[in-house]
């Protein structure tokens, strides 16, 4: 099966204020790739480039082997989109939404859309303005899936949802990829969602892709070594990815916590979360600053 997404040397510059890339990455079919990074890191620019909303200055984007520049219409047919903010006009009903999208997507499936509405207990004849945020999100997911996409692009899809609805939504996404022929690119600040479902983690900072590893490699391998000033002075700089001094100790990000625990037995070694990783890589200092 072709890669779900292939990006080669993608670059976009906005005056002198921001530059994306160059970014190169690939996302295999049948997985969930989590896209993380602070606001302004370049995640939205990357997603908009994938969707053809903005034109990059250079680089190549392929979706399931199709070049976005040469076959944009078919690429978009293969993509379902779920955003943080609802983009359907609030005066419309789900029935109205189906009527509009039927003319846009050649693979639009009315029966499938109605089935999702039934599964989600969503009325098809009430205006969207009467829906709760959870209902709106379910409607958006229903619309995204009803044209049989191969790839879902999710931008903060669970933001603001209560834990019960979030769990329900996450189960839908997991079902989507269970046949190993569909893929998801999932951008979120709720990194705990990715710890439960993502196969691959893409970490962006300052317009660059600074980390591209499997979730298991990160959560099972990386760690936080905690030490005092005297212990910190004895740690090899090459063993540090970054560090942060706190009021009571120093936290050091390491890429092999098992080996580092053996090497520095007097220090405390903790497992890591994706949130810890983000904070230490973005806010932490680099070891060259203390060389």
Span 16-26, pLDDT tens digits: 778 998 999 99
Confidence (pLDDT) at 123? 97
- Token couple for 245: 């001094």
Query: Who has greater pLDDT, 158 or 56?
Result: 56
At residue 1 the predicted structure's pLDDT band, cuts being 50, 70 and 90, is low
17/31 Cα distance (integer angstroms): 34
The pLDDT > 90 percentage for the chain reads 71
Q: Name the one residue in this structure whose structure tokens are 């063993």.
A: 239
Confidence (pLDDT) at 2? 67
Mean pLDDT of 184-197: 92
Maximum separation of any 2 CA atoms in the chain, in Å = 68
Q: What domains lie within the chain, and their CATH numbers?
A: 5-217 (3.40.50.300), 222-290 (no CATH)
> Of 191, 190, 197, which is closest to residue 216 (Cα–Cα)?
197
Contact 285, 211 (CB under 8 A): no
Contact 82, 73 (CB under 8 A): no
Query: Torsion angle of alpha carbons 129, 131, 133, 134, nearest 10°?
Result: -160
Confidence (pLDDT) at 290? 47
pLDDT tens column, 55-74: 999 999 999 999 998 898 88
At residue 166 the predicted structure's pLDDT band, cuts being 50, 70 and 90, is confident
At residue 291 the predicted structure's pLDDT band, cuts being 50, 70 and 90, is very low
pLDDT tens column, 194-242: 998 999 999 999 999 999 999 999 999 999 999 999 999 999 999 999 9
Name the pTM for this structure: 0.91
């Amino acid at each position: 099966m072709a890669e779900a997404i292939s990006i080669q040397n993608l670059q976009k510059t906005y005056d002198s204020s921001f530059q994306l890339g160059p970014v190169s990455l690939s996302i295999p079919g049948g997985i969930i790739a989590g896209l993380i990074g602070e606001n302004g890191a370049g995640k939205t620019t990357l997603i908009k480039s994938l969707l053809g909303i903005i034109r990059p200055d250079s680089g190549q984007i392929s979706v399931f082997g199709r070049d976005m520049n040469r076959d944009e219409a078919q690429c978009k047919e293969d993509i379902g989109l779920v955003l943080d903010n609802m983009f359907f006009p609030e005066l419309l009903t789900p029935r109205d939404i189906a009527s509009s999208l039927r003319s846009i997507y050649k693979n639009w499936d009315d029966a499938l859309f109605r089935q999702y509405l039934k599964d989600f207990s969503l009325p098809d004849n009430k205006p969207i303005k009467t829906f709760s945020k959870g209902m709106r999100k379910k409607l958006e997911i229903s619309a995204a899936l009803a044209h049989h996409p191969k790839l879902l692009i999710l931008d903060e899809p669970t933001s603001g949802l209560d834990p019960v609805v979030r769990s329900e939504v996450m189960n839908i996404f997991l079902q989507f990829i269970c046949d190993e022929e569909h893929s998801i690119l999932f951008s979120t600040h709720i990194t705990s969602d990715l710890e439960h479902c993502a196969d691959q983690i893409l970490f962006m900072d300052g317009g660059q892709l600074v980390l591209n590893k499997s979730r298991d490699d990160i959560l099972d391998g990386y760690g936080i070594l905690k030490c005092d000033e005297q212990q910190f002075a004895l740690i090899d700089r090459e063993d540090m990815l970054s560090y942060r001094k706190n009021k009571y100790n120093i936290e050091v990000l390491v890429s092999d916590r098992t080996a580092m625990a053996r090497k520095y037995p007097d220090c405390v070694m903790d497992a890591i979360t994706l949130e810890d990783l983000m904070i230490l890589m973005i806010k932490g200092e680099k070891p060259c600053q203390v060389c």
